[in-house]
Amino acid sequence: MASVIPRLTDAQLKTLSAGYVSEQAAKKRITLIGLAVLAVLCIVAGRVAEVDIAKFLANLPKFTDYFGRLFYLDTGKHVFTDVTEWFWGLGKWTSRLWDTLLIAYLGTLFGAIGGFFLCFAASVNLATGKPQLFFARRFLEFCRTVPEIVFALIFVVAFGLGPVPGVLAIMIHTVGALGKLFAEVVENIDMKPVEGAIASGATRWQVIRYAVVPQVLSNFASYALLRFEINVRGASVMGFVGAGGIGADLIEAIRKFYYSDVSAILLLVIGTVIIIDMVTERIRNQLISTEHSK
Amino acid sequence: MKTSRMFPDQSAVKARHAVLIAGSQRDRLTTIGVLAGIVGMAVLAIFQLEFSLARLGSGIVQLGTFLGLMVPPSPGTQLYALLKALAETVAIAFLGTLLAAILAFPLGFLAARNTMANTIVRFTTRRFSDSIRGIDTLIWALIWINVVGLGPFAGVLAIMTSDIGSFSKLYSEAIEAVDRKPGEGVISTGGSKLHAIRFGIVPQVMPVLISQTLYYFESNTRSATIIGIVGAGGIGLYLAETIRTYEWDNVAFIILMILGTVALIDLASSRLRMAIVGKRSTEV
């Protein structure tokens, strides 16, 4: 039986396979050049960052040793043998953790409010003009590029030690981060309700209230919740610079080598973060499903 | 009468749409309930955290003074040291991101449903990366300082550790989102499971992984600027020092340097991402 599969002639095959080989070679060449550049960058960066592999390897046992030691009490007993001794400061730590959560909450709330009022100026379709768009975007960029802990350092000097500078620092960072995300949501809305509202004589904020907010609210809420998760992590280190929350106890325990305290506090922080993640994820899924059912 | 034709009798409309109106009332009650919860929580927090108008007011006045002292920004006498610290910061971010990407690559496959059938392995990998992510970079920096001593190397390791958690999560999500057909094709021609991963999945996910890694490089530059605050190298040390000694013109200069560097890296990484993924990202 004659073959039903059409075959190319040898001459055709030759040019095609030569093309394939040269294409593959070109691809390989680009990959190799990329890897070479990466290697050079690595060596330069390694020099600058004082990477010392020998020292690292020599000290690596210390790392595992450190983690091992986190689980032994001062008395030399394993922490699980005496959990009450391990979590001796549970009352104090949970109250500090509660403070941390409240710092994250207030920072997220105020930041979301600020982001809400700025996002319309930073979105192409609702900004009143080029200058407004430009300044709103640069402002939001500034807010989110300066790390929150830097704001916290400055605010601690201005407002004094305690949770207040922590809240303000998280708030400013959140304004920047959420303002940008909110603006992106606003840029994707359906403009017909906006035109309708303008046609019936609505003012700018009436347009936003009746034509924009109903379209974006669930997305805004979902992003704000996601930010809350991130801010809980951020708030847990605010205490490092004196801006309130559990961070103060943690840095003290690490610096003074109170090993079992470090592990106890870290476990509390991780547990809290995971619980918050789970709760907010559930709420966000619900928000998304109500959005889709509309 | 003209108005009555334009606005039909309200009670008649209400009667006709009774169900709709009752529904919207229920929505309204929920809204009020949620709002009351949010506000109540905020009031509680404000009291618990001891916010006071007097304190806020005096703080804002102080901030105003600082802002005044920040102009004009000046490097002081240590421009060279600052530039060196900035280079160190970028190097920390670069190495930390790269090492994390290399180490998280296999973890991503271990945590993805379509490449790891074993639930226990998958579950353990995911909880492992969750726990790592639950700890902030600054905390990792403190821990690594105890191991390798003060200096930028501890910073590299800190960035690496905290990114392993994020990367393995992102990577596993990307791997779970691939098209299964290329992998099935490889299997059908007699390839092993590893072959399916190498030739069916890796080519699909590589651009996504690289672009996510580049995106993190930019955000890690930001993290690397602060780990110096706890002594893990980079510009953060100078920043914390100048803030504590009230040298506000230097503070402003350092912050401007950081902003400039982050903007440059953002530009470079988005160019690279465009070249690799082949389409414009939505970054503005």
Note whether A49 contacts B46, CB cutoff 8 Å. Answer: no
Mean pLDDT of B56-76: 85
Q: What residues of chain B lie within 8 A of the CB of A273, using their CB? A: 134
Q: Which of residues 202-261 of B touch A (CB under 8 A)?
A: 222-223, 225-226, 229-230, 233, 239-240, 243-244, 246, 251, 255, 258-259
Interface probe, candidates B39, B139, B143, B238, chain A, greatest A C-beta count within 10 A:
B139
CB–CB contact A159 B251 (8 Å) = no
> C-alpha distances in angstroms, A241 versus A40, A149, A165, A245, B34?
37, 8, 10, 11, 34
A227 and A178 Cβ atoms separated by less than 8 Å: yes
pLDDT for position A294: 53
CA distance B164 to B170: 10
CB A228 within 8 A of CB A273: no
The whole-number pLDDT of residue B278 equals 63
Please say whether the beta carbons of B154 and B139 come within 8 A.
no
CA–CA dist A19, A13 (Å, integer): 10
Residue A98: its chain B contacts at CB < 8 A? 48
- pLDDT confidence band for B284 (50 / 70 / 90): very low
Nearest Cα to Cα of residue B159 among B91, B109, B208: B91
| Cβ atoms B199, B133 nearer than 8 A | no
pLDDT over 60 at B2, yes or no = no
Q: Determine the Cα angle at B141 with ends A94 and B234, to 5°.
A: 135
**Is it the case that residue B3 has pLDDT exceeding 60?**
no
Distance CA B52, CA A195 (A): 43
CA dist., res. B77 & res. A12, Å (int) = 71
Residues of A in contact with B56 (CB under 8 A): 159, 164
Look up residue A221 and give its two tokens.
């809420």
Cβ neighbour number for residue A225 with a 10 Å cutoff: 19
Task: Name the residue with higher pLDDT: A273 or B20.
Answer: A273
Dig out the tokens for A265 from the structure. Answer: 């506090």
**Among the listed residues B165, B106, B108, the one whose alpha carbon sits nearest the alpha carbon of residue B134:** B165
- Confidence grade of residue B282 (pLDDT, cut at 50, 70, 90): very low
Least confident of A237-246, A270-279, A283-292, B157-166: A283-292
Report the percentage of chain B scoring pLDDT > 70: 94
SS3 label, residue A72: strand
For B140-161, letters b (16+ CB in 10 Å) and e give: bbbbbbbbbeebbbbbbbbbbb
Please tell me which of the candidates A50, A145, A158 has its beta carbon nearest to residue B152. Answer: A50
Q: What is the pLDDT of residues B85-135, one digit of tens each?
A: 899 999 999 999 999 999 999 999 998 888 888 888 888 888 888 888 878
The residue among A55 and A159 whose pLDDT is bigger is A159
B223 contacts A147? CB cut-off 8 A:
yes
Q: pLDDT value at position B148?
A: 82
**Average confidence score pLDDT of chain A:** 87
ipTM of the complex: 0.78
Has residue B280 got a pLDDT over 50? no
B11 or B138, which is more confident? Answer: B138
Unique residue bearing structure tokens 């899924």: A285
Q: What is the pLDDT of residue A3?
A: 61
Its pTM stands at 0.81
Burial of B176 (0-12, 13-18, 19+ CB in 10 A): middle
**Angular region, B234: left φ>0, alpha ψ -120 to 50, beta rest:** left
A11, HSE (Cβ side, Cα atoms, 13 Å): 0
pLDDT band at A291 (very low <50, low <70, confident <90, very high): low
Q: How would residue B276 be classed by pLDDT, with cut points 50, 70 and 90?
A: confident
What confidence tens digit (pLDDT) does each residue in A91-127 have? 889 999 999 999 999 999 999 999 999 999 999 888 8
Task: Please indicate whether, in this complex, the C-beta atoms of A250 and B139 are within 8 angstroms of each other.
Answer: yes
| B280 Rama class: left (phi>0) / alpha (psi -120 to 50) / beta | beta
Q: Which one, of A206, A208, A212, lies nearest residue A190 by Cα?
A: A212
